[in-house]
């Protein structure tokens, strides 16, 4: 873990729970794409940088989930590097209490205020094309989270952040975290048409051809949507629906899974209701979901 892998003339990734991109800007200066999941990750990354005689100038965050920005605060304090995050993600990076609050739907209880859902604050600025170094370009990849982005380097390496999950992850958990289902499906369509020397997903193996994995992720989204529709064949409360999904997918309920899977299921409900495939109605002060098909 935390080994450095070269994938282009100037492009690398650091193997970690969420892969960290590294771009060599010149003989001494480098920038990172994301920073790992916590302070310890930041320490390991800095040790690697020092061993190579590299100076960190900036961190470009793909999005604000804690496992991608957890090393920001430590690395910024140690190196003075600039940190950039796109759109709404910038606010979440500066004020990380927003992530567990968003997931829970209110002030999060202490069981949700931990490093896996809430990184340390870091002084992020808004990420735009104008602040990128020469040769690095933005790719808009919304859906998994609000304003998630990826990057393409001058040597044609594409960092895809969290827009793809590995087959193993999807087979194990069935439901991958999503904020906007429709935007995510559009992102997958975009990714399927991409060409690159190599693709680096944060949670899957690097590959020269990503089309098959993108299609698998898309198929999994449609399967999940159909599963929710089938459970809603009889009007059902959200909590009962969530329990059915946990039971049938063999998932274990805890606070973290409750908010991550629960938030995702609510996004599916919105997606299906907007498509007029689900009906939402209040009956005797209960919100019930039922299939329109």
pLDDT in tens, 242-293: 999 999 999 999 999 999 999 999 999 999 999 999 999 999 999 999 998 7
Is the CB of residue 66 less than 8 Å from the CB of residue 116? yes
State the pTM of this model: 0.97
Q: How far apart are CA 19 and CA 104, in angstroms?
A: 26
Residue (of 64, 112, 55) closest to 90 by Cα position: 64
Is the CB of residue 163 less than 8 Å from the CB of residue 187? yes
Q: Is the dihedral of CA 226, 181, 282, 109 positive or negative?
A: positive
pLDDT tens profile 81-140: 999 999 999 999 999 999 999 999 999 999 999 999 999 999 999 999 999 999 999 999
Residue 169's SS3 state is helix
Cβ neighbors of 275 (< 8 A, separation 6 or more) are none
Q: What is the per-residue pLDDT for 292? A: 84
Half-sphere exposure of residue 89, counting CA atoms within 13 Å on the CB side? Answer: 29
CA 28 to chain centre: 30
Is the CB of residue 36 less than 8 Å from the CB of residue 50? no
pLDDT tens profile 139-197: 999 999 999 999 999 999 999 999 999 999 999 999 999 999 999 999 999 999 999 99
Q: What is the per-residue pLDDT for 244? A: 98
Q: Which phi and psi (to 5°) does residue 236 adopt? A: -145, 145
Per-domain residue ranges of the chain? 4-222, 232-291
Mean pLDDT over 217-232 rounds to: 98
165: left (phi over 0), alpha (psi -120 to 50) or beta: beta
Residue 31's SS3 state is strand
The domain made up of 4-222 has a fold known as Metallo-beta-lactamase; Chain A (3.60.15)
Q: Which phi and psi (to 5°) does residue 18 adopt? A: -125, 110
Structure tokens at 28: 């001494």
Report residue 225's pLDDT band, with 50, 70 and 90 as the boundaries. very high
Q: What is the per-residue pLDDT for 262? A: 98
Give CATH for domain 232-291.
1.10.10
Q: What is the per-residue pLDDT for 27? A: 96
Residue (of 182, 273, 172) closest to 221 by Cα position: 182
Mean pLDDT over 218-240 rounds to: 98
Whether the per-residue pLDDT at 5 is higher than 80: the answer is yes
């Amino acid at each position: 873990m935390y080994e450095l892998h070269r994938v282009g003339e100037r492009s690398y990734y650091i193997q970690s729970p969420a892969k960290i991109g590294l771009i060599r800007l010149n003989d001494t200066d480098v920038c990172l794409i994301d920073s790992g999941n916590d302070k310890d990750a930041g320490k390991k990354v800095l040790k690697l940088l020092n061993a190579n005689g590299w100076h960190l100038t900036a961190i470009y965050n793909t999005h604000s989930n804690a496992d991608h920005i957890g090393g920001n605060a430590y690395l910024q304090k140690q190196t003075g590097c600039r940190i950039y995050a796109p759109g709404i993600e910038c606010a979440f990076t500066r004020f990380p209490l927003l992530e567990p609050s968003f997931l829970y739907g209110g002030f999060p209880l202490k069981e949700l205020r931990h490093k896996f859902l809430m990184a340390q604050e870091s002084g992020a600025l808004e990420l735009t094309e104008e602040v990128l170094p020469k040769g690095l370009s933005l790719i808009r990849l919304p859906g998994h989270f609000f304003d998630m982005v990826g990057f393409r380097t001058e040597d044609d390496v594409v960092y895809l952040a969290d827009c793809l999950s590995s087959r193993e992850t999807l087979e194990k958990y069935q439901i991958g975290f999503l904020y906007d289902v429709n935007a995510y499906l559009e992102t997958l369509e975009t990714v399927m048409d991409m060409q690159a020397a190599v693709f680096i997903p944060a949670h899957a193996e690097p590959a020269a051809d990503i089309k098959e994995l993108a299609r698998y992720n898309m198929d999994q989204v449609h399967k999940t949507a159909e599963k929710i529709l089938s459970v809603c064949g009889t009007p059902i409360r959200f909590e009962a629906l969530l329990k059915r999904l946990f039971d049938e997918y063999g998932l274990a309920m805890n606070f973290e899974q409750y908010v991550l899977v629960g938030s995702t299921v609510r996004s599916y409900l919105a997606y299906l209701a907007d498509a007029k495939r689900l009906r939402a109605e209040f009956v005797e002060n209960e919100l019930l979901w039922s299939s329109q098909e």
